[in-house]
Structure 1
Amino acid sequence: MNARAFLLSKHFATTHFQQGIDWESRPVTRKMWREKRLASYLLFAGLGLWLEKKNEKPDIKKISSDQQYYSFKYAKLNERCNIGHFQLRNLLWATSKNNVYYMYEDSVRQWSPQLCSSREILNVRTANAPQSRIFTISSMACAENILFTGGSKGEFACRRLDDMTAPVHYGITTEHINGISNHIHITESLIGGIKAIVSSNDMKTRFINMDTLAIENTISFPFPVNCSSLCPDKRIMCVVGDATETMIVDSTTGAGIHSVDEHSDFSFACCWSPNGIMFATGNQDKTTRIYDIRYPSHALHVLGGKAGAIRSLQFSNDGRFLVAAEPIDFVHIYDTKLFENSQVIDMFGEITGVGKW
């Protein structure tokens, strides 16, 4: 499935991302096509009833969506990004403003906006890949000079980004039939060392030591895990999955600390603000919910989507903005000061993820 990847850069912008479409030459206007496409997607996703009853959801906050925080200067990718699973949209990362990593077919490629060129970084179907480890990439992450990709049956492949002569390492996290890697978070752990935190459909989150590639810790949950996000202080972790519940647990023992159950469907994304005070959850009920860890029993803000589920969430590095991506057409950028204003990137296409730098 082809998709579009978006890296947000801080420049003032127009509200609509035009994509080079010549609407003057088309038989329909942009507005007409937007309405038709939205109606078709809602029908396909079974959300028509939700749309009809949206005025009955008083908890969704009404905010301004006409701000202009970010813009796109250009997009020069020769390849269209790919999605390995229709629900998983964590396939775009940026380690710097000039190093953007994205999925293309069976490979991860690096795009340089400065040079307007791209190159292959890792391919799971190259000749040096063990036949037993050829897999479909379902999730990826780039951080701490490491690229880590997870597969549809628990497989993984990883390599260092600061030494392209070093080999690609292959492994597996689980043999479980539902071992698809839903989300990967690369970070330094509480006990030191860089870890890849892999969230899987077999109801487990695993901590992989990136020096030894050994699984150091496994935490089990009562639901398939779609996303695990470690708090900046490394002590606690937010976990969401195929449940309406959001769990805050001890990052080393997995012991429950808080639990909140306010969504009406399954969640696929969660993240922490840089100061570790706020965390956000993104759900198939088309809402992003914002919580304060000091008072976590109820959401501070409930932010509504337009077309579908909230699949990707990222706070900006300075914490000023929260970016929430739907599966198609809409990326929301919220001012986190009061969550009263936002910018909506309005375009046409599947979204494979959002990156920040």
Structure 2
Amino acid sequence: MSHYREDDIDGMADEYEMADMDDDMDEEYHGRGMGDSDSDNEEYGQSNSKVTDTSSAQARKGEDIQGIPWNRLSITRERYRQTRLEQYKNYENIPNSGEASEKDCKPTKKGGLYYEFWRNTRSVKSTILHFQLRNLVWATSKHNVYLMSHFSVIHWSSLSCEKSEVLNVSGHVAPCEKHPGNLLEGFSQTQVSTLAVKDGLLVAGGFQGELICKYLDRPGVSFCSRTTYDDNAITNAVEIYDSSSGAVHFMASNNDCGVRDFDMEKFHLCKHFHFEWPVNHTALSPDGKLLVIVGDDPQGLLVDAHTGKVIGLFRYQRMNFKNWLC
């Protein structure tokens, strides 16, 4: 993840928004006879008890899947979308990289039906502090979703349409189990930068190098660790995987240029690889022998998963921060 100041977050978003049109729409949503509201639980001037979902049946009848009341606005959905496509400026860290990469890409065939709309719920809202952050929403099955909402990790079921809090990091969080390397004093007010949820395990990474591990079927937190005290410590990505021995591990990628591998049975650090630039994401090959590592460099690395030795390089288009999201 590239370096940034936290006070830049709002400015970066504002700079690339179609501010005038969005403000006009917002005024129409809330200001022209639709009621003003200070509550996060109110949308388009109506309470969440009235407007929480749009079903597939409602969508087939012509209702907007996002619940936007276009019939009450002075602009149509089609016109707004066309204007946004024409005026919206996507952020690029390399000028004109989008246009350049389009020349190398094959034309996309349109008209295929790959997904069918089922439901949109607006009672569950994720909170993402910065547009570079990744993996803060996880679908562990067709019906189970885990997401960050402010300082809470929330579970939402699409079957029952109910949500529950899994972990709250707004206050003090400390481990209730004893493991070597466990930071018994824990953390306070952790800002979560990335998540991983798989096979009943949850790992949250923080802006200051924090790692918080929890079993979903156990009360409390099992493990807390700070991977680094480096000034540039943010945890960019966490990957939970089964090792070749069958043991469950997780791998953390950090802005301090490190990749760390932990055994989740004993929560001990097994491997620590160091590279020349901040690591944004690490992926393990199906046979467990190779790592693909991408970060703040136009070249990605092919690495031996056991030794950390670089055995190959590959180049990719670093367009629109795509390597942040690999």
- TM-score, normalised to structure 1's length? 0.65
1:146 aligns to what?
A: 201
Matched, 1:33 2:80: yes
Q: Does 1:205 align with 2:252?
A: no
Report the alpha carbon displacement of residue 25 of structure 1 after superposing the two structures with TM.
2.5
CA distance in 1 between counterparts of 2:169 and 2:308 reads: 32
Q: Over aligned residues, Cα RMSD in angstroms?
A: 2.8
Give the superposition deviation at 1:87: 0.4
- Unmatched tracts of structure 2, length 5 or more: 1-9, 11-39, 41-58, 175-184
Higher relative contact order (CA 8 A, sep 6+): 1
Match in the other structure for 1:339? none
Unaligned runs of 5+ in 1: 3-12, 266-284, 287-307, 314-357
Q: Residues 1-40 of structure 1 correspond to what in structure 2 (within 5 A)?
A: 18-40=65-87
Moved more, 92-101 or 174-183: 92-101
Alignment of 1:241-280 (within 5 A): 241-263=295-317, 265=318
- Taking structure 1 as reference, are residues 150 and 138 closer, same or farther at Cα in structure 2, changes over 3 Å only? same
Measured against aligned partners, the alpha-carbon deviations of 1:237-283 in whole angstroms (never above 9, x if no partner) come to 111000111111111111122211242x3xxxxxxxxxxxxxxxxxx
Query: Which whole-Å CA distance do the structure 1 matches of 2:188 and 2:209 have between them?
Result: 10
Give 1:36 shift: 3.3
Residues in 1 aligned to 2:89 and 2:95: alpha-carbon distance in whole angstroms: 5
User: In the alignment, which of 217, 220, 226 is matched to residue 274 of structure 2?
Assistant: 220
More helix by share: 2
Which has the larger strand fraction?
Answer: 1
Paired with 1:58 and 1:144, the residues of 2 have a C-alpha distance of: 41
- Structure 2 CA distance, aligned partners of 1:17 and 1:50? 34
The SS at the match of 2:123 is coil
Question: What's 2:227 paired with?
Answer: 173
Mapping 1:45-64, distance limit 5 Å? 49-50=96-97, 53=99, 57-64=102-109
Residues 1:107 and 2:152 aligned together: yes
- State the Cα deviation string for residues 112-154 of structure 1 (Å, max 9, x = none): 1111100000111245545744310000000121000000010
Q: Aligned letter for 1:117? A: E
How many percent of aligned residue pairs carry the same amino acid? 31
Where do 1:202-351 residues align within 5 Å? Answer: 202-263=256-317, 265=318, 285-286=319-320, 309=322, 312=325
1:172 corresponds to which letter in structure 2? R
Q: State the Cα deviation string for residues 186-209 of structure 1 (Å, max 9, x = none).
A: 001234411110000011110011
Distance in 1 between residues matched to 2:202 and 2:135, nearest whole Å: 13
TM-score after normalising by structure 2 = 0.71
Aligned counterpart, 2:239: 185
Task: Count matched residues.
Answer: 258
**Deviation at 1:27?**
1.7
Contact 1:133 1:170 in 2 (8 A): no
